[in-house]
Structure 1
Amino acid sequence: MIFVAGLLEVLFKALVLIGMASAVGGAVFCLVVLRPLESVALRRVESLKTSLMLIVCSSGLLAFAQGMVLLIEPWAFADETGRWPLTEFLTTQFARASLLHACMGLFLLATAIWLLKRPASRLGWAMMTVTLVPLMASGVWLVHAASHIDHAAQLMTVTVVHQFSASVWAGGVLHLAVLQRPMRNSLKGMCLWPAVVARFSLLAVFSIATLLVTALYLSLHYVRDWNGLIGTAYGAMAFTKASLLALVLGLGALNFFSVQRWIQRSDGNDVSKRAPALIEAEMYIAMVILLAAATLSSQPPAVDVLAERASPMEVLQVFSPKLPQLTPPPHQEMLAHAASSFDLLALPSTLDKIQSNFNHNICGLLLLIIGIFAMLARSGKLRFVRHWPLLFLLLALFILLVGEPAGWPFGTEGFWETLVIPEVLQHRLAALLVASLGLFEWRVRTRDLAHTRWCFAFPLLCLAGGALLLIGSHTALEVKSAFLNEVSHNAIGFLAVGMGVGRWLELRLTRPANRLPGLLWIACMVLVSFVLLFYREA
């Protein structure tokens, strides 16, 4: 139960961070970006109400998710009689801070509802501004800094600034993405849109600069050295998070230069046509970064993990080319020696490792074939190749049938009873996700869904798959062998996000701007296939 609780806790912590980013970032977005635009007051009020409604929903999400975290903790430690240690838990610092955090989220929700009826009220905006202080301050008691003995005050202060700057940037991007379509669909909104993007770009530059400085400070305390960054689960996730942030900075730079052209030459073509797609891509990556941050908060800092660190050479060996395992072990012999899926602390046997290598390597081979056919389809010369997404169904079937060799259909453990095991659940969801990828993209390629919103199913499912890999931690016990297996999943998660963003931009941008993203997502898929093809159990 404690492992299921760990997965649920990461998920709800991620929802807390997303809710906080949208609520806090939305409040700052309204105060700094929308309210000062007095020259187009009518459109400004409509945009304000849209943002305020989003703040209401986000604050509610924050309070709900934080409340669920409060329930998960005592549920995980229930005794054999089913009694939850609720009274004892509520006396802890974590429980009190969580309760305060949820209450401040509800107070922000009430303030936003009040402002919906009185968007010009200075008192209401002052109340919202004041509410942000205890909301951010209460959240700092829920992170690593609160449990550190040395430099606790400095770490907590820097963490507040780090979370606030991240919320201002990520939440602002979310509000900008939500507002872009209604604003660009009206004449007054079209006039307001470049000014809104320009004001937010300046705010985003300061936010990201602060985010990077505070991230560097926290990394020096929690990771400290190169071995901590490369050889621990915390460091690897921090590196993945930094890589995603670098991807966002590239997209943000394109938007920033578009804004500069509008300011200097009154050329708003890029701001009106290209910026919306880039902002949407930024928003999706920002959400994945917040999911990675939630996973990071559930891992022990790298400085606290000394005995089970992997060396840089061991990590490099994970990604180095190897001969793939293309034949499975004897099935009956493997079942005879396999540990129960419910024994989450059992170490894999030699046959288990061979089976795992076979599963990953065959998946890599199938994905490589899919990538080759996807590249051939871009030429348009072979008409039958456009049906390449159907190959995903073969991959999904393989994951479903062979992903859990000790379980249904060829093992002794049932399908439904093993879904409570996080790793099994991940594999079942992966099979469903891959099958959905294939079916939706096939319908798009055959023109049935090409001009509908369903054409965006492929990139969104890729992003969901990447997020699923990043929040599903196999390294809760910080065993080095488990980390060496998990680090490849981090790489696949990052590349899956690259696939999603590339395909999204290919669909949203016009030619010739969409050609590079179109090549990018196929390249990411091929790289995923190589990671799987060279996979070896540690």
Structure 2
Amino acid sequence: MEQLLDLYGFINVVLQVVELTARTALLGGVAFWLLVAMPLAPLMPPGDAAVLRGLARRLVLWGAAAGCLATLATAGLGLGALAATLEAPFGVLLGADFVFAAGLALLAQLALLLLALPGARPDPVRQAALGIAALALLGAVTAGSHALAREEERALLLAATASHQAGAALWIGGLPALLGALRRLTPISARVVGRRYSSLAAGGVGLILLGILGFWRGYIGEVEAVYGTAYGAMSGTKAVMLVLLLGLGGANFLFLHHLQTAPEGLLRVRRFVESEMLIGLAMLAVAASLTSVPPAADLTEDRVTWGEIVARFTPQWPRLTSPSHSDLAIPALQAQLDAEWQQRQAAQRPQAFTPGEGLLPPRNAGDIAWSEYNHHWAGILVLLVGLAALLDASGRVPVARHWPLLFIGLAGFILLRSDPEAWPLGDIGLLESLRDPEVVQHKIAALLVVGFAIAEWWVRLGRVTGGLRFVFPGAMVAGGVLLLAHTHAISNQKEALLVELSHLPLAVLAVVGGCARFTELRGPERLAKVARWIWPAALVLIGLLLLLYREA
């Protein structure tokens, strides 16, 4: 149970991402089934109609099943943490508001699962039941949101939450079914479905924007809160990704309504839909992370000022020399405690820092210099990778195809230096250090880097084909999503936010780079020619941002 409490925040955010993604797909699947598949099926050849209804039904089934599991896991995690902290039995805690809201959401998802199980075409009664169950689910998750806890403008925020989630479902949630339709239907039917869905997505965009207006009034309130608080910074990141999604959606609208009807045109739409899905997943990750921070309107003091941001992000020469490990706060404090312990000859050796004890580790100037050194050398390595990938894209430097091996050095660097108080440099063992969420995330990042470096190197050598080609772009997207959920063990609120401001653009660039690499691999050739330059450029920008990283 102690291990659960230590990692509760990180695990909770991950489960929230899974739950929100499943719920968005479920609601989007119901909307696609009722508002796209059912009206269009009579206008299509029987084969296409059956495929279209089947795609919608499977999306509802998978979304409902995943949503039920995620809701149970999230509610169980919350109950476990609450029981451990309050030392109260589960029976007493079952009356908590979040448990009640989770129960309602679970019932609604189970109802949708049962309604989607029959393979026959739904009659009007079953269609109405699907719609009612979807609205019940939307109401349940709205009732379990932070809006219900607000004393001021509660009705506005509840309406904004419902509008925002409904809009995300109409636009993002149905994209898997749309992608399946574009792949499996005849070109004429696929174009009809795409046109219908684009209208549905446009309505979803309107609902999302209405929700944003409500959130701005109730949770943010002023421009200074956007860059001065974690909630505002993460909301700004969501806005940037929303602009990217609008660009992709607008391009699809043009292709479907005004431009090409040739198969290559539909292939471009498919590539853009895939990118929409990946960026949408990143947006949902940010939305889940927002539940772990207080609204900006509640943090009216001790905000980061614009002058502090300018001062922090003004370029300076990178730190290329590392401080001594013994000068860091925890090793220095441990040495002092050891000296006192030997003098007293106490029975138990005191620890300078114990992962999971609930206290943030101490930091000094040496720790700041150590962190900056790590980021700057990591930036050099990523910059070299990006430049080598650009040379490889030119086709004029054959040796540049081995650029993925540079990532092996980055992985070793992360593993060795990211957590100096823990194994292999510090006194804290590997297993014990995994009680710290930041350590866990660093180890996961190192493993991701090793995995995609080897896989991409084999791709460059022509040794692998098929699904392994997508390990590298998948890892880029996963790394970006992980960075959006990343936490920092810094007790100073301003410092933690300034670090967050430097990491958020890295996450966005990683997601964009992953989408571009996916597009390069899957074509069409005209898009691939552009995409093969975009993702190396994203790596170059990531490297430059890491070189500009500062903590003081």
- Fold shared per TM-score above 0.5: yes
Amino acid at match of 1:162: H
CA shift in 2, pair 1:160/1:317, >3 Å: same
SS in 1 for 2:258: helix
Q: Which residue is 2:372 aligned to?
A: 357
Alignment check: 8 A CA contact 1:281 1:501 kept:
yes
Indicate if the aligned counterparts of 2:474 and 2:514 stay in contact, CA closer than 8 A: yes
* Aligned equivalents of 2:308, 2:515: Cα separation in 1: 31
Equivalent-residue separation in structure 1 for 2:332 and 2:160 (angstroms):
53
Distance in 2 of aligned mates of 1:8 and 1:477: 20
How high is the TM-score relative to the length of structure 1? 0.93
Mapping of 1:23-34 within 5 angstroms?
23-34=26-37
Q: Which of 36, 56, 76 does residue 51 from structure 1 map onto?
A: 56
Match of 1:504 among 518, 533, 542: 518
1:225 corresponds to: 222
2:316 counterpart letter in structure 1: K
Q: Is the CA contact 1:177–1:283 (under 8 Å) kept in the aligned structure 2?
A: no
Deviation at 1:256, TM superposition (A): 0.6
* Contact kept? 2:181, 2:193, Cα under 8 Å: no
1:158 to partner: Cα distance? 2.1
2:170–2:203 Cα contact (<8 Å) kept: no
Give the match's secondary structure for 1:254.
Answer: helix
Q: Does the residue aligned with 2:117 lie in a helix, a strand or coil?
A: helix
Q: SS of the residue aligned with 1:416? A: helix
Residue 529 of structure 1: aligned partner: 543
Check whether the contact 2:264–2:524 (CA below 8 A) recurs between aligned residues: no
- Per the TM alignment, residue 249 of structure 1 is displaced from its structure 2 partner at its CA by 1.0
The CA deviation at 1:477 is 7.1
Q: Which whole-Å CA distance do the structure 2 matches of 1:243 and 1:14 have between them?
A: 19
Q: State yes or no: 1:113 paired with 2:117.
A: yes
* Equivalence for 2:140: 138
Partner of 1:310: 304
Q: Distance in 2 between matches of 1:462 and 1:242?
A: 21
Q: Does 1:438 align with 2:438?
A: no
TM-score by length of 2: 0.91
Q: CA separation in 1, counterparts of 2:92 and 2:392?
A: 61
How far apart are the structure 2 equivalents of 1:132 and 1:475?
40
Once structures 1 and 2 are overlaid, which stretch shifts more, 288-297 or 473-482?
473-482
Q: What is the distance in 2 between the residues matched to 1:102 and 1:340?
A: 41
Identity %: 33
State whether structure 2 residue 151 is matched by structure 1 residue 149.
yes
1:514 is paired with a residue of what secondary structure? Answer: helix
Is the 1:456–1:504 contact (alpha carbons within 8 Å) kept by the matching residues of 2?
A: yes
Residue range with higher mean Cα deviation, 19-28 or 326-335: 326-335
Aligned partner of 1:525: which letter? Answer: L
Give per-residue Cα distances to partners, 1:383-441, cap 9 Å, x unaligned: 11111111111111111111111111121111122122110011101111111221111
Give the Å deviation of 1:340: 2.4
Letter in 1 for 2:28: G
**Counterpart residue number, 1:493:** 507
Equivalent positions of 1:42-121 (< 5 A) are: 42-79=47-84, 83-114=87-118, 116=119, 118-121=120-123
Alignment of 1:244-283 (within 5 A): 244-261=241-258, 267-283=261-277
The aligned residue for residue 18 of structure 1 is: 21
Structure 1, unmatched stretches of 5+, are: 184-188
Residue among 353, 374, 378 paired with 1:340: 353
1:381 aligns with 2:396: yes
Equivalent pair of 1:470/1:493 in contact (CA under 8 Å) = yes
Q: Deviations over 1:119-155 (max 9, x none)?
A: 2422211110111111100101222211111111121
Match of 1:414 among 417, 429, 434: 429
2: CA distance between counterparts of 1:78 and 1:458?
41
8 Å CA contact retained: 1:325, 1:354: yes
Is this contact kept in 1: 2:17–2:284, CA < 8 A? yes
- Structure 1, residues 299-345: CA drift from partner, whole Å, max 9, x if none? 11000012231012222334331221111111233222375261542
Q: 1:84 to 1:478 in 2, by over 3 A?
A: farther
Distance in 1, Cα, partners of 2:494 & 2:462: 48
CA distance in 1, matches of 2:309, 2:520: 33
Superimposed CA distance per residue, residues 334-361 of structure 1 (whole angstroms, 9 cap, x where no aligned partner):
2223752615423422211111111111
User: What secondary structure sits across from 2:7 in the alignment?
Assistant: helix
Give 1:478 shift. Answer: 7.7
Deviations 1:488-531 (A, max 9, x none): 12121111111111111222223332233222211211111122
- The one-letter code matched in structure 2 to 1:59 is A
1:36 to 30, 34, 39: 39
Q: Once the 2 structures are TM-superposed, how far is the Cα of residue 225 of structure 1 from its aligned partner?
A: 0.8
Write out per-residue CA displacement over residues 29-55 of structure 1, whole angstroms, 9 at most, x where no aligned residue. Answer: 111111112122332122212321221
Is the contact made by 1:261 and 1:268 (CA closer than 8 Å) also made in structure 2?
A: no
Amino acid at match of 1:534: L
Find the residue that maps to 1:36 and give its secondary structure: helix
* Cα distance change on mapping 1:131 and 1:76 into 2, 3 Å: same
CA contact (8 A) 1:2 1:77 kept: no
Amino acid at match of 1:147: A
| Equivalent AA in structure 2 for residue 446 of structure 1 | L
Gaps of at least 5 residues in structure 2 are 335-351
- SS class of match (1:35): helix
Instruction: Give the letter aligned to residue 141 of structure 2.
Output: G
Specify the alignment match of 1:167 in structure 2: 169
Counterpart Cα distance in 2 of 1:3 and 1:435: 27
Q: Which moved more, 1:387-396 or 1:57-66?
A: 57-66
1:463 corresponds to 2:477? yes
Shift of 1:26: 0.6
- 8 A contact 1:392–1:438 mirrored in 2: yes
Q: Is the CA contact (8 Å cut-off) linking 2:166 and 2:207 kept in structure 1?
A: no
Q: Which residue of 2 aligns with 1:186?
A: none
Amino acid at match of 2:79: P
Query: For the residues of structure 1 that align with 2:368 and 2:83, how far apart are their CA atoms?
Result: 34
The answer to whether the 8 A contact 1:361-1:532 is kept is yes
Secondary structure, in 3 states, of the residue corresponding to 1:406? coil
Q: Report if the CA contact (8 A) 1:292-1:470 is conserved.
A: yes
Aligned pairs (5 A) from 1:278-289: 278-289=272-283
* Partners of 1:112 and 1:195 in 2: CA distance: 24
Aligned length: 526
Contact 2:313/2:550 (8 A) holds in 1: no
In structure 1, what is the Cα distance between the partners aligned to 2:531 and 2:375?
A: 27
1:168-247 aligned within 5 A: 168-183=170-185, 189-247=186-244
Call closer, same or farther: CA 1:374–1:348 in 2, change over 3 Å: same
321, 324, 349: which one pairs with 1:330? Answer: 324
Helix, strand or coil: the match of 2:174? Answer: helix
- Alpha-carbon distance in 2 for matches of 1:347, 1:216: 40
Q: In the aligned structure 1, how far is the partner of 2:487 from the partner of 2:109?
A: 28
C-alpha contact 2:455 2:472 (8 A) present in aligned 1? yes
Contact conserved, 2:231 with 2:290, CA < 8 A, in 1? yes
Amino acid paired to 2:216 = S
Shift of 1:486: 1.8
Give SS of 1:274's match: helix
8 Å Cα contact 1:360/1:532 also seen in 2 = yes
Question: 2:387 corresponds to which letter in structure 1?
Answer: I
The Cα shift of 1:216 comes to 2.4
CA RMSD between the two structures: 2.0
Q: 1:20 and 1:506, CA in 2 relative to 1: closer, same or farther beyond 3 A? A: same
Q: Which residue of 1 aligns with 2:290?
A: 296
